Amino acid sequence: MGIQCVDCVKEASRAVPSARTMFGGTVRGGRPVVTLTIVGLCVVSWVLQLVTGGEWTQRWAFAPSVGLDEPWRFLTAAFLHSRSPLHILFNMYALWLTGPFLEQAFGRGRFIALYVLSAIAGSVGYLLLADPMGYAWITPVVGASGAVFGLFGAIIPVLRRTGRSAAQIVVLIAINMAIPFFVGGIAWQAHLGGLAVGLAMGAGFAFAPRERQALVGWLLPAGVAVVLLAATLWKYASVGWL
């Protein structure tokens, strides 16, 4: 019976190129770790919202009036939800439908970038369309909807790249974009912001030439982050807050 050198096996495994998806993501077996982690963080955060009597919500929710002094709220609001179980259940269900697919397609790193920037874009979208003299400027918003709409948007170019129809996801987006016009209390501006970033990043990741996928994986998120920052600073400057 032969004996294998452990160090030799490790060295050989490093030399074997890892399998990649057509979008450049590393093919991984097992559970969608990033998606499950996001779901876990949202659930834990929601429980804290309930047990603290709203204090947790007030600490991390986003409102244009506090975003400049506490910029982390642009992201942390995406891990909060209303007290109604339906809000978090819908968002987590939508995340579970789309997250594992995109996490596998793009790889964990780019999927995290997509989710985080879509979440921030939701807050930026709300900020850009808020009237500084209106109630929306001081009204806190919460929810992962901006990030979820980013995932919805990213799926469209992925399906087109693989030659599959995106009609169903387009109809789903249209329905969900229409709901706020019939049901009050929904920040459609956040949906729009997340959707725009998701479409842009999804298209960039999906159609990048194979030899440039790694480069695009770094440059595209950096470019989107710069655009979001510039848009945020422009809005605050336009109302005399800078």
Please give the positions annotated as active site: 145, 191
- Give 19's contacts (C-beta < 8 A, 6+ positions apart): 26, 27
Q: What percent of the chain has pLDDT over 70?
A: 93
- Both structure tokens of 127: 């900020």
Q: What is the pLDDT of residue 133?
A: 93
- Give the integer Cα–Cα distance in Å for 150 and 205: 13
Question: Residue 182: CB partners within 8 Å, gap ≥ 6?
Answer: none
The predicted pLDDT at position 14 comes to: 52
Distance CA 176, CA 227 (A): 26
Segment 42-63 mean pLDDT: 97
- The pTM of the full predicted model, rounded to 2 decimals, is 0.90
Q: Which residues contact 225 (CB under 8 A, 6 or more apart)?
A: 117
pLDDT in tens, 111-159: 999 999 999 999 999 999 999 999 999 999 999 999 999 999 999 999 9
Give dist(CA 225, CA 216) in Å, integer. 14
Cα of first residue to Cα of last residue in the chain, in angstroms, is 74
Q: pLDDT tens, 71-83? A: 999 999 999 999 9
Q: What is the pLDDT of residue 223?
A: 98
- The pLDDT tens digits of the residues spanning 178-220 come to 888 887 788 999 999 999 999 999 999 999 999 999 999 999 9
